[in-house]
């Protein structure tokens, strides 16, 4: 299985930049396969890493094998040629360690700031992906219809004979999941809501399309509460639920349903229990990628997250490989 990291988003990215990068240097040495970062523009309060590709470049400079993924690049916000050049450069600098998750995005403030109409996002997403993939795999690319019109342009610095970075799609609507099926793209499945609805729609679309699908290359996400003992792991889960409840209430959201959270969103237990739960998840879904969240999406501190990562790397990773 491929085991990646996630959860460093919004307030979890705040703090000293060097200490932040050190987390991923240590993750690289522990043996995790990759880490994923979200793209948030014009956020209030201001966040330090609106550009996932710039952050990826910094991490690539400090690590030797860790992959970095975007979860996601919001394609309607970008000109595909400019984005293709940035992706090509980041992937070239990394030695081919970049993963590109893409999405349509519906955040009104970003669209308004850039003067993009909400009803244009589907066209910009689908046409943008087509141009982006062409630009990363062909000597030149041209467009003669909206929303972008340009003559033949060459995009570098990646030599065209080398494959472009892997693409993934995030989304929950039938239209976006149908797009993933049509282009044989793996999914970045979400935690909230849990992936059951997405997988149901995706499998129905596969059945009608006659395609084999890309679930095996897709990626699930789970919170991970691991302890040396089951009791220690349960204590960590209690802390996670309490802090998530407080944050959700502060944002005017209802608290988690603890039973549903345990069933659908978390891996919890000692190392052997975690191994069993992850293997069962892979068997049930057919998906061989997992993005592990050790910091509770920012409600647990980095020292707690690192302790869990170290225990997981020593006692769980070998059994999943």
Query: Does residue 154 register a pLDDT over 90?
Result: no
Its pTM stands at 0.94
Query: Which whole number is the average pLDDT over 46-53?
Result: 94
Whether 246 is in a domain gets the answer yes
- Percent of the chain with pLDDT strictly greater than 90: 83
Q: Is the pLDDT of residue 162 over 80?
A: no
| Residue 14 covered by a domain | no
19 is a domain residue? no
| Within-domain flag for 260 | yes
**Could you read off the pLDDT of 251-283 as tens digits, one per residue?**
999 999 999 999 999 999 999 999 999 999 999
Q: Which two tokens stand for residue 114?
A: 């850039």
Rounded mean pLDDT, 155-182 = 85
314-321 LR contacts (CB < 8 Å, sep 24+): 315/271, 316/226, 316/271, 316/274, 316/275, 316/278, 317/3, 317/30, 317/31, 317/32, 319/275, 320/1, 320/3, 320/275, 320/278, 320/279, 321/1
pLDDT of 57-92, one tens digit each? 999 999 999 999 999 999 999 999 999 999 999 999
Strands 2-6, 98-103: pairing is: unpaired
Average pLDDT for 3-10: 96
**Confidence grade of residue 146 (pLDDT, cut at 50, 70, 90):** confident
Q: Do the domain assignments include residue 44? A: no
Tokens representing residue 182 in the block: 């049509």
Neighbouring residues of 87: CB distance < 8 A, sequence distance ≥ 6? 53, 98, 100, 132, 136, 164, 165
Domain count for the chain, please give it: 1
Domain that holds residue 261: 219-321
**pLDDT at residue number 161:** 54
Indicate whether 17 belongs to any domain.
no
Structural domain includes residue 287: yes
Decide if 186 is inside a domain: no
């Amino acid at each position: 299985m491929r085991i990646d990291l996630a959860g460093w988003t919004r307030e979890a990215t705040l703090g000293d930049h060097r200490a932040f990068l050190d987390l991923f240097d240590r993750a690289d040495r522990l043996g995790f396969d990759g880490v994923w970062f979200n793209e948030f523009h014009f956020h209030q309060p201001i966040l330090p890493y609106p550009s996932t590709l710039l952050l990826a470049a910094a991490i690539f400079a400090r690590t030797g094998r860790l992959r970095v993924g975007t979860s996601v690049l919001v394609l309607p916000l970008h000109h595909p040629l400019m984005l293709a050049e940035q992706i090509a450069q980041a992937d070239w600098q990394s030695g081919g360690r970049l993963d590109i998750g893409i999405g349509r995005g519906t955040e009104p403030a970003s669209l308004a700031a850039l003067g993009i109409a909400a009803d244009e996002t589907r066209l910009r997403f689908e046409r943008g992906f087509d141009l982006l993939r062409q630009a990363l795999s062909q000597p030149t690319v041209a467009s003669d219809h909206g929303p972008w019109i340009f003559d033949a342009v060459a995009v570098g610095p990646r030599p065209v004979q080398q494959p472009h970075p892997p693409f993934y799609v995030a989304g929950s609507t039938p239209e976006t999941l149908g797009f993933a099926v049509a282009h044989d793209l793996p999914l970045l499945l979400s935690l909230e809501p849990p992936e059951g609805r997405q997988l149901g729609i995706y499998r129905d679309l596969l059945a009608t399309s006659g395609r084999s699908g890309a679930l095996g290359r897709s990626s699930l996400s789970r919170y991970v509460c691991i302890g040396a003992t089951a009791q220690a792991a349960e204590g960590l889960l209690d802390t996670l639920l309490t802090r998530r409840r407080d944050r959700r209430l502060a944002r005017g959201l209802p608290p988690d349903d603890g039973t549903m959270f345990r069933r659908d969103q978390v891996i919890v237990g000692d190392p052997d229990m975690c191994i069993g739960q992850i293997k069962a998840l892979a068997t049930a879904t057919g998906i061989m990628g997992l993005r592990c969240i050790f910091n509770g999406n920012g409600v647990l501190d980095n020292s707690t997250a690192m302790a869990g990562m170290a225990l997981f790397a020593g006692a769980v990773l070998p059994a999943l490989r």
